[in-house]
Structure 1
Amino acid sequence: MILKEIDGNDKLIERLEYLSASGNLSHAYVFEGDSCVNKVLLADCFIKAILCEENKGDGCEKCITCNKINHGNHEDIIYVDADGKSIKDEAIEELQSKIKKKPFFGDRNIVVIKHADTMTIRAQNRLLKTLEEPPQGTIIILLSENIENLVQTILSRCVVFRVNPFETFEYGAIKEQAQLLVKMLFNKEAFYLVKSKLNEFAEDKDSAMKLLDSMELIYRDLTIINTKESRNYRKDYIYKAVELIEEARRDLQRGISTGYAMKNLIIKIGG
């Protein structure tokens, strides 16, 4: 996938295309979006637009660079992810050592920090030093679900973009699951049927968080659109469902088991 194929984010994509084509790039970006948003895919598309040899500003999907990015083995791109529940100081220290080295092919090292909002305060303070004095040509992309967990000094040194959900095979499947679950709960279908579906859709914390995000978007859409189906949903029912989804999300973030948090949610919404 390349930038122009990403839907639902027209202004953002236009901006990223301009930045990558012009070369007028910042040293650091934050992409913030719900867990159901494939922010890694967006970051990879942005990187293709920056590094592509054939179609700068978008990507071509044919050159060596685009192929390497698609396969996750481009030597000048460094991915950092959480070790357990957080990104620790040691991971940022290792990253700093890597970006001090010259790029293998071009003139840039590009860093993608997944789940950046899980960085410990110590890790964030260490990263701040790099953001203040980044090695020449280095671009750091932080992917976050909640930028409130990032210290203000980091945010002030980054360009922050909010990312809306966009269609991918994975997101399409999650949205279908969420729509089915919302309908089952509204129709007050038997608990064992709803729970059976829930067990299929939310096997772990990550899939549960994506499902919650999609459900919340569906409920919010029901307050905006005016269709025969949407008129069946009372506003107070929708608002209560969204509150309960937020409660389930907080439970998962606090470490409560996925099964318990999600079962509690469907009991409270389903009545």
Structure 2
Amino acid sequence: MLAAIQPINPIAIELGGLQVHWYGVIIGLGALLGLWIAVRESIRRGMHKDTFVDLVLFAIPIAIICARLYYVAFQWDYYSQNPAMIPQIWQGGLAIHGGLIGAVATGVIFARVKKISFWKLADIAAPSIILGQAIGRWGNFINQEAFGGPVTRGFLEGLFIPEFIINQMYIDGQYYHPTFLYESLWNFAGFALLIFLRRVNLKRGELFLSYVIWYSIGRYFIEGMRTDSLMLTADLRIAQVISIVLILIAAGLIFYRRKSGLANKRYLDSDKE
């Protein structure tokens, strides 16, 4: 029976020589849904309706490029021997931390050019970012990547997850932890938390920094279960190190901005920015 289990076809549409992969479709869906939510919220916060549309025209491609370069840099032994594989992002290999670096840098520059508060932009975007990450992990599911260590079928059945997930976790004759699912659920919970925190009316910037802390906590523990981590040394997983650094930086910024008076506005404050 096990030999009959077939993985999901990673190609969503094939027309002649054109192939559209589920990986790209799912990431695109997450980006579009996140954009829709951000645009609606930005209008409520008194910003022009095209602000986030203009931002993502730069932020998304730059984030994808940075996510890929980040991944390739830490897998250079392979890609230096296979340079033709570098642009093939549909095969997987987008590092979220690299994407965040690119997106945040783009947001900072965009905010300065448009004379908009970066922290206001970041707070509005935070729920959309983590929602996009929650959806995007299902692209890893289709590609059968970002999984954890070996488990039994009985263990997966004990999680009460759908049959199609259990079958997709059967890879090369072995079942594996669906760590993509753990992180997706953690991120969906984070999305709900951030939507709630909008009503709490935190100081400006703290919604985004709360996202950084929430995501990083989950990523740290889930990364420890994965078998395909990018490694800094033989014992140090890059994503875990970055997660700890981000938690410390985000918590430090919340404390510093409150003590210094830089966080002088709140999320729901109305202004002319």
Structure 2 length as normaliser, TM-score?
A: 0.30
Q: Which has the higher helix share?
A: 2
Structure 1 length as normaliser, TM-score?
A: 0.30
